[in-house]
Homo-oligomer: A and B are copies of this chain.
């Protein structure tokens, strides 16, 4: 599979695949099949663009959104707390815009991700192509809670859940996960978080904890240093549990 690259010039930024032809207001760009990051490309009107490797945070700007995507911070917390890495098999729901799936794939995981809304699933599949991870993320249209029985037991290393019916999936975590596997659940509301925690305890997952993350941006100016008064953005309670 070809790996997409970014073409950047001042405020213009395009995500393209090698071999593609890209029309811009500064002229047409022919992207060679063997284009390399660090190279310079010229449009037919002689305007230069820099070729850049795609990085995870760039996906937030280039993916088509079907809702508010999970922020880089929260994706990082999921990756850090579950140790997502090469060779991991991840079961995810709901896909949404797909940034979590894409970033886990970019860290080496293969991901099966369920999205109930067929149009959202189509957008997510396009996003996986854009992100160069279509071969590593299998976006399935459907409701994971109904498909749970059809999945092979002990075939996943990590479950990542960002959906209202997370508790009913958590109930199946011990069958779905390998020994030592992790569950990570984002829940915006405290009541649903409580249900997740209670279910995790009932099915004997271990090391169950829930954290809320608050961030303060610091402001450094001539008068001094202080926390910004900007919104700190609650995105949800993160619950982690382990199958052991």
A interface residues with partner B (beta carbon < 8 Å): 6, 8, 37-38, 50, 52-53, 55-59, 72-87, 103, 106-108, 154, 157, 178-180, 182, 188-194, 197-198, 209-218, 220, 223-234, 236-237, 244
What copy number does this chain have within its complex?
A: 4
The complex places the Cα of A214 from the Cα of B232 at a distance, in Å, of: 10
Q: In the complex, what residues of B have CB within 8 A of residue A86's CB? A: 86, 106-108
Contact B225 A234 (CB under 8 A): no
**Would you give the shortest CB distance from A3 to chain B, in whole angstroms?**
9
Q: How far is the CA of A58 from the CA of B80 in the complex (A)?
A: 12
By the criterion CB–CB under 8 Å, are A106 and B79 in contact? Answer: no
Besides A53-B87, A77-B77, A80-B80, 14 more A-B contacts (Cβ < 8 Å) are A50-B179, A55-B180, A56-B80, A56-B83, A57-B82, A74-B80, A79-B80, A84-B107, A211-B215, A211-B216, A214-B214, A227-B234, A229-B232, A229-B233
Contacts of A108 in B (CB 8 A): 85-86, 106-108
* Residue in B188, B190, B213, B231 whose CB lies within 8 Å of A190: B190
Residues of B within 8 A of A77 (CB): 73, 76-77, 80
Q: Which of A76, A194, A224, A228 has the most CB of B within 10 A?
A: A76
CA distance A159 to B191 in the complex (A): 29
Q: Is the CB of B82 within 8 A of A75?
A: no
- Between A and B, 9 residue pairs with Cβ closer than 8 Å are A37-B178, A76-B76, A76-B81, A85-B108, A190-B225, A191-B224, A209-B217, A214-B215, A230-B231
Closest to A70 in B: B80
C-alpha gap A56/B109 in the complex (Å): 13
Other-chain contact of A55, B78, B83, B107 (Cβ < 8 Å): B83
* Cβ contacts under 8 Å, A80 to chain B: 56, 72-77, 79-80, 103
Q: Give Cα A234 to B179, complex, Å.
A: 32
| Interchain CA distance A59-B80 in the complex, whole Å | 12
Contact of B81 with A107 in the complex, beta carbons under 8 Å? no
